[in-house]
Amino acid sequence: MKLHHLRPAEGSKKRKIRVGRGEAGRRGKTAGRGTKGQKARSKVRPGFEGGQMPLQRRLPKLKGFKNRNKVVYAVVNVERLAEFDADSVITPDDLRERGLAKKRGPIKILGEGEIDRALTVHAHSFSLGAVEKIKAAGGSVEVVGK
């Protein structure tokens, strides 16, 4: 077998229909556009509704947009970590088991409240205030991969 013997599979290649190429052709004269009217004569821009107020003008203008790539964290405040025993290691799974992190997704520890015991906290993200409070209590923080 040589390159010049290769053929595309049967039925995989269809010829393009050439419209408006004379009366004898399959798509001659009106070229599949019917008769008369704006659509038969020229282009009608997308969204044109025949003079009716178009959809994009009927709807109200809304400010801003919704970022589809925004990361929504399940937040846990430092004061809630006081439920754990001193010198324990806290993982995201532990926080979910105890019902401290309600939503799915990555967990962020925020610095609201006080903490009085040394804990090792593993989470996806920390606020600066939370890091300071955990370290001041003798604990440590570790950022877990997303």
d(CA 65, CA 63): 7
Give the mean model confidence (pLDDT) for residues 71-82.
93
pLDDT digits (tens, 9 = 90+) for 118-127: 999 999 999 9
d(CA 114, CA 81): 9
Domain locations in the chain as residue ranges: 85-143
Tell me the longest C-alpha to C-alpha distance in the chain: 92
Q: Which CATH topology does 85-143 take?
A: Ribosomal Protein L15; Chain: K; domain 2 (3.100.10)
d(CA 56, CA 7): 49
d(CA 72, CA 75): 9
How sure is the predictor about 43, in pLDDT bands with cuts at 50, 70 and 90? confident
Give the mean model confidence (pLDDT) for residues 25-49.
89
